[in-house]
Amino acid sequence: MIQVGDTAPAFDLPGTDGDEVERYRLSDFTESGAAVVLFYPFDFSPVCTEELCNFRDSEMLTFTADLDVVAISADSVYAHRKFVRENDLPIPLLSDHDGRVSEAYGVLYDELEGHPTVSKRAVFVVDSEEAVRYAWVADEWTTDPDITAVYECVRDLECIEIPSGPF
């Protein structure tokens, strides 16, 4: 797994924000600040829906300038499009259909509940220099990340502006 201090592996993946399908690169998200890169197993699973909706509802996304959040799974961009629309997600979902990016980050299951090539639940905070500043991978695929810990890492970055106070 990628550790704090490592350079985040670059990616170039198809994805959607709920409208168009386009290509997204890590550099698209870090060129003006920091990025929170989420990996998750499945669109529409109860745990993944809760996780992404928790990020959607956190004020971190609304009140933090120069911060982008992106989520990656092996699901297709068409499933992602429906998932974004049904859950009003304000972040792009990217399709790592062959697992190469998940593998580069060290967060790929060979198999999960009969499904091959599934991303583990993980969170990475990547600064504007593409250095990993926070890394977390779930021991169990049903465990949600600690959004407060992610927020605290983001708050401490010098490459973004963030208001004081709880999110």
For residue 3, the model assigns a pLDDT of 95
The structure tokens listed for 66 are 């120069």
Residue spans of beta strands (DSSP E) within the chain: 12-16, 21-25, 34-39, 67-73, 93-95, 108-112, 115-119, 122-126, 132-137
State how far the Cα of 57 lies from the Cα of 75, in Å rounded to an integer.
23
State how far the Cα of 14 lies from the Cα of 95, in Å rounded to an integer.
6
Domain chopping of the chain, boundaries: 12-149
For residue 164, the model assigns a pLDDT of 52
73 DSSP β-pair partners: 95
Candidates 3.90.330.10, 3.40.50.1970, 3.30.930.10, 3.40.30.10; CATH matching 12-149: 3.40.30.10
Q: What is the average pLDDT across 30-50?
A: 90
How many helices and strands, by DSSP H and E, does the chain display?
A: 6, 9
Residue 51 main-chain phi, psi, to 5 deg: -60, -50
pLDDT tens digits for range 101-156 = 999 999 999 888 888 999 999 999 999 999 999 999 998 888 888 888 988 888 88
> Has residue 166 got a pLDDT over 60?
no
> Has residue 1 got a pLDDT over 70?
yes
> Has residue 167 got a pLDDT over 70?
no
Taking the CA of residue 106 as centre, how many other CA atoms within 13 Å lie in the half-sphere pointing to its CB?
Answer: 13
